[in-house]
A and B are shown apart, each in its own frame.
Chain A
Amino acid sequence: KNQVEQSPQSLIILEGKNCTLQCNYTVSPFSNLRWYKQDTGRGPVSLTIMTFSENTKSNGRYTATLDADTKQSSLHITASQLSDSASYICVVSARGSQGNLIFGKGTKLSVKP
């Protein structure tokens, strides 16, 4: 069964600190993995996309990694800001899919001053 599991469920950090969010998936055949950021009361917005051959991708202070062998991904946030407080959702696409995305349940990050 295609699944995406994220950890931790929630995380509280102090402003300026770094953090890493984890994503494990069992989607097969794998095509790509996206990390979405969802601010409270808003829809998810894509941060990064990685395909099978990519093992790291950055978007500002966000760096995503992918290990296709172990089927794991991480999202590292550097020098966190209050505006990073949001839910981060890992989303995986299977090869040949026509828009069916497999969503994780997200990690809720709170950055405190």
Chain B
Amino acid sequence: DAGVIQSPRHEVTEMGQEVTLRCKPISGHDYLFWYRQTMMRGLELLIYFNNNVPIDDSGMPEDRFSAKMPNASFSTLKIQPSEPRDSAVYFCASSLRAGEYNEQFFGPGTRLTVL
């Protein structure tokens, strides 16, 4: 398996523009997680899905952030409008099942810079 795939790897945009990040989880994994990583705050969970259904979106910072999972092999995280403080590395991760013992496998991340 190719692992979790994310695109783009790097995104530079201007404040106010819409940004869409994409993720393809590992085939057969039922859970998908979106994280944001900054130097100040480390890794933070934004939202996670089970079988394409959002389960917990309490980490989504504002209404400007939205996430969808239209099918088992694709998810998007959208920021509209983007702001400079959204600059961070965004990771997608997937796991076979939920529960505290199930390992989450991370993608390579998307480095977002908002000017």
A residues contacting B by CB (< 8 A) are: 31-32, 34, 41-46, 49, 89, 93-101, 103-106
Q: Are B91 and A32 in contact (CB under 8 A)?
A: no
Q: Are A101 and B98 in contact (CB under 8 A)?
A: no
Contacts of B4 in A (CB 8 A): 43
Interface centre among B98, B99, B100, B101, by most chain A C-beta atoms within 10 angstroms, is B100
Q: Are B31 and A99 in contact (CB under 8 A)?
A: yes
Q: Are B100 and A42 in contact (CB under 8 A)?
A: no
B residues contacting A by CB (< 8 A) are: 4, 31, 33, 41-45, 48, 50, 55-56, 91, 93, 95, 98-104, 106-109
- Chain A contact residues: over half helix, strand or loop, or mixed? loop
Q: Which B residue sits closest to A44, measured CB to CB?
A: B106
Q: Are B100 and A31 in contact (CB under 8 A)?
A: yes
Q: Per a CB cutoff under 8 Å, which of A34, A45, A97, A103 touches B43?
A: A103
How far, in whole Å, are A44 and B105 apart by their CA atoms in the complex? 8
Q: Per a CB cutoff under 8 Å, which of A41, A94, A100, A105 touches B108?
A: A41
Q: Are A99 and B33 in contact (CB under 8 A)?
A: yes
